[in-house]
Amino acid sequence: MLKELRILVADDHSVVRKGIINSLQSNFPNSITGEAANAAEVLNQMNKNLWDLVILDISMPGRSGLEVLKDIKTSHPKIPVIIFSMYPEDQFAVRCIKAGASAYLSKDISAKELEKAISGILRGDHFFTPSVTALLTSEIQGNKGGKVAHETLSDREYQVFLSISKGKSVSDIAAELNLSVKTISVYRSIVLKKMNLKNNSEMMYYAFKNNLVS
């Protein structure tokens, strides 16, 4: 274990950041923590300080955590990143692991499991829950038959696709992602074209049929 463990915690909710930091300080008393509330703050912290680990929320205003993850792995490829998300594993885990995440953890994970994940990752391992392992296995087997429609989407397109599939309006999605309504509408059009779908109803049916939304 490092004498001094430096961990950056990135989440747009202060309460969540404080909860993670409290857990870290209890389980890793030698840790020094930093905080970031959005993509710009994350990248600023990465450029200003040296970190041993980043705990990153996937859903933040503006640029998503998945986009930030790719930036981190490009500029600091050796720094491990844990994606800490409220989204179910079957929605984003495979994309995050492919982008370089060392783990994809649910926000309802126990403090003990978080400690176990961090300890393993700092030793150079990945940490996959049984369900994530099953998803990765299914992905490998599925690739033999070519990509399915939703896998052709970019990360942002996929995020918009899931939001629409959950019944959210374009204006709600725009507010959530801190983007314009026009931009979200453009993403919607791209998604429909790429997936060969006609409307939101077909999008929602596709997502439900493929177990992407409950």
What is the total count of domains within the chain? 2
Q: Are residues 93 and 193 in the same domain?
A: no
What is the span of the domain harbouring residue 92? 5-140
Q: What are φ and ψ of residue 72, in 5° steps?
A: -65, -45
Please tell me the distance from the alpha carbon of residue 207 to that of residue 43, in angstroms, as a whole number. 32
Which of 195, 91, 214 minimizes the C-alpha distance to 147? 195
- Please list the alpha-helical segments (H only) found in 37-169: 39-48, 65-75, 89-98, 111-122, 130-143, 155-165
Q: Are 17 and 44 in contact (CB under 8 A)?
A: no
Q: Are residues 136 and 169 in the same domain?
A: no
Q: Are 157 and 190 in contact (CB under 8 A)?
A: yes
pTM for the predicted model, two decimal places? 0.77
Q: Which of 88, 108, 140 represents a domain boundary (last residue)?
A: 140
Q: Which of 140, 169, 187 represents a domain boundary (last residue)?
A: 140
**CATH for 171:** 1.10.10.10
Please tell me the distance from the alpha carbon of residue 103 to that of residue 134, in angstroms, as a whole number. 14
pLDDT value of position 211: 81
For range 176-186, the mean pLDDT:
90
Higher pLDDT, 81 or 141: 81
For range 9-29, the mean pLDDT:
92
Q: Are residues 154 and 133 in the same domain?
A: no
pLDDT value of position 135: 82
Q: Is the pLDDT of residue 117 over 60?
A: yes
Does some domain include residue 214? Answer: no
Residue 137's pLDDT band, with cuts at 50, 70 and 90, is confident
**β-bridge mates for residue 33, sequence order:** 7
Tell me the CA distances in angstroms from 39 to 3, 53, 77, 161, 168, one per residue in order: 29, 16, 17, 21, 23
pLDDT value of position 142: 62
